Structure 1
């Protein structure tokens, strides 16, 4: 009978494997289930990147113990509370990379600076003044690794009436609401943007026509429904998209023949996602599919939202 004097035990697994496994475990379970098992596990836990998502005040209260314990290891924080009972001390997040704050207090945004969060790469908040974005985007005290930023409702309107230096580090821009004029300005001052997300696109009928500028944007996502295709066409006239490979849009109604012509502009397009909320009762899928190669996957889909169930027309096609 052979006796194995070195039986395989869990703590003998490679540290890299532990780090991989721990990356899928909630911080609460890491603290309550793994912490203080032994010295070796504790050392590994100190190297784990922690991701925390907070949806309400109860969730924050539940997460407070492990938030405090792992504060210096938090690399991803998404706080979606509109009315937080307790503010997070951002100065403790020294290794944060991704920071999403639905509500950001004046004290908090005063603590958001390169000295406190020197590794920050992605930042979004819906409650900050434009002066904050001016500081992190166009003034000298910038975050050295910041590549993605989101501007709240109305803040970016101030961009129209000022002159700024060029920022070539930002790659992704998320705007809550914007007109083609605002987007045109952002492309001028942030010329390295390759991904643009817009929650609400609107047109300013009083603004003068803009000269087209060719952007480097490859991904364009307009989240909420456009009342008219005219809004999209105006955007295309103001900001050129010769490198666009991904387009995601929603229309209330759609002129598919006009859209088929518009899509011929995008010679590099590879992924097209379209949702149309309403359509005529005599809408003919087969005829419409023949209008453009991009319409071949056109079909109906049932959407269940908070209020009712509805049927939409949907395209989601990837060209290889």
Structure 2
């Protein structure tokens, strides 16, 4: 039996685990049959810096019409990617997006787009994508950069019921509350930086369908985060991942009793008092049973943090 006799479906499965450069160098032009299969492979490309882009340019050009996943993390790209060539793109993440690039982002050029995050687009772009008639028909996940979402507080927009996942770079409770009002079908919410608005007013109670909530860095106090959790009413919440600088474990234990559907809880506390009794704290809540220290090492310092990663059986 020769390798060419394997089913095409098996080839597609195998090729999905192989880097594009290895597909081009190791498999392309072996024979006509393999070339035909390669034309149907979904291509995923991750670019971290300009050297990555230069190295990936040959297979980027060759597979451009097959790229379904592109993550470009360059803050200062030497060469911009022509987004018009990405006709099958589904996942698109650009740390830097030029004016020319975002002018080419529309349903005609990227008709299959389902997920995208850009960190340098004007708020008018998001308004067009989220609230105007000409939308991406399959778009379910969107990421908004810092600063732009503040404009949502002072405008009135129609309801968008197609977005399922929202990723905010930075937001206050008020901004999150507004987004949930305008995007009521969100089931997954990620916030890189949660901050407190000094002029904030009390939040009115609303309900949400959010099941997964991830607060990567909390710049607000524990009180403001718990105020968000209780006022928004995450009655369907199953996964909660949060970070605190300091933590009142008694108050947090009480807050967690309000979420009867919770199945996975992850907590990281960066600083804590020296007399913290781990055993006594673990007894405060079933969710604290895995409470322990974690060593965090970076190039600046070596420190300990408290970590909880608990899954309800």
State TM-score, norm by structure 1.
Answer: 0.96
Q: Distance in 1 between matches of 2:79 and 2:26?
A: 26
Query: Does structure 1 retain, via aligned residues, the 8 Å contact 2:195–2:218?
Result: no
Query: Does structure 2 retain, via aligned residues, the 8 Å contact 1:35–1:45?
Result: yes
Please say if 1:97 is aligned against 2:85: no
Which residue in 2 is equivalent to 1:128? 121
State TM-score, norm by structure 2.
Answer: 0.98
2:3 counterpart (7, 10, 14): 10
Runs of 5+ in structure 2 lacking a partner?
none
Q: Secondary structure at the match of 2:157?
A: coil
Q: 1:60-85: CA deviations, max 9, x gaps? A: 01111100000000000000000000
Q: Distance in 2 between matches of 1:268 and 1:237?
A: 14
Q: Distance in 1 between matches of 2:93 and 2:287?
A: 35
Which residue in 2 is equivalent to 1:182? 175
Which residue in 2 is equivalent to 1:305? 298
Query: Does structure 2 retain, via aligned residues, the 8 Å contact 1:254–1:276?
Result: yes
Query: Does structure 2 retain, via aligned residues, the 8 Å contact 1:120–1:143?
Result: yes
Query: Does structure 2 retain, via aligned residues, the 8 Å contact 1:57–1:81?
Result: yes
1:203 counterpart (196, 208, 216): 196
Please say if 1:314 is aligned against 2:307: yes
Q: Distance in 2 between matches of 1:32 and 1:116?
A: 29
Q: Distance in 2 between matches of 1:228 and 1:205?
A: 12
Query: Does structure 2 retain, via aligned residues, the 8 Å contact 1:54–1:79?
Result: yes
Q: Secondary structure at the match of 1:78?
A: strand
Query: Does structure 2 retain, via aligned residues, the 8 Å contact 1:227–1:252?
Result: no
Query: Does structure 2 retain, via aligned residues, the 8 Å contact 1:226–1:250?
Result: no
Runs of 5+ in structure 1 lacking a partner?
1-7
1:119 counterpart (98, 102, 112): 112
Q: Secondary structure at the match of 1:236?
A: helix
Q: Secondary structure at the match of 2:307?
A: strand
Query: Does structure 1 retain, via aligned residues, the 8 Å contact 2:242–2:267?
Result: yes
Q: Secondary structure at the match of 2:143?
A: strand
Please say if 1:66 is aligned against 2:59: yes
Distance apart, 1:160 and its partner CA: 0.6
Please say if 1:43 is aligned against 2:36: yes
Q: Distance in 2 between matches of 1:111 and 1:257?
A: 52
Distance apart, 1:221 and its partner CA: 0.2
Q: Distance in 2 between matches of 1:130 and 1:187?
A: 17
Q: Secondary structure at the match of 2:217?
A: coil
Task: Please say which of residues 16-25 and 206-215 is displaced more in the overlay.
Answer: 206-215
Which residue in 1 is equivalent to 2:277? 284
Q: 1:27-80: CA deviations, max 9, x gaps? A: 011011110000000000000000000000011011111000000000000000
Distance apart, 1:233 and its partner CA: 1.6
Q: Distance in 1 between matches of 2:297 and 2:220?
A: 21
Q: Secondary structure at the match of 1:199?
A: strand
Q: Distance in 2 between matches of 1:200 and 1:120?
A: 26
Please say if 1:20 is aligned against 2:13: yes
Q: Distance in 2 between matches of 1:153 and 1:275?
A: 23
Which residue in 2 is equivalent to 1:294? 287
Q: Distance in 2 between matches of 1:161 and 1:238?
A: 21
Query: Does structure 2 retain, via aligned residues, the 8 Å contact 1:299–1:313?
Result: yes
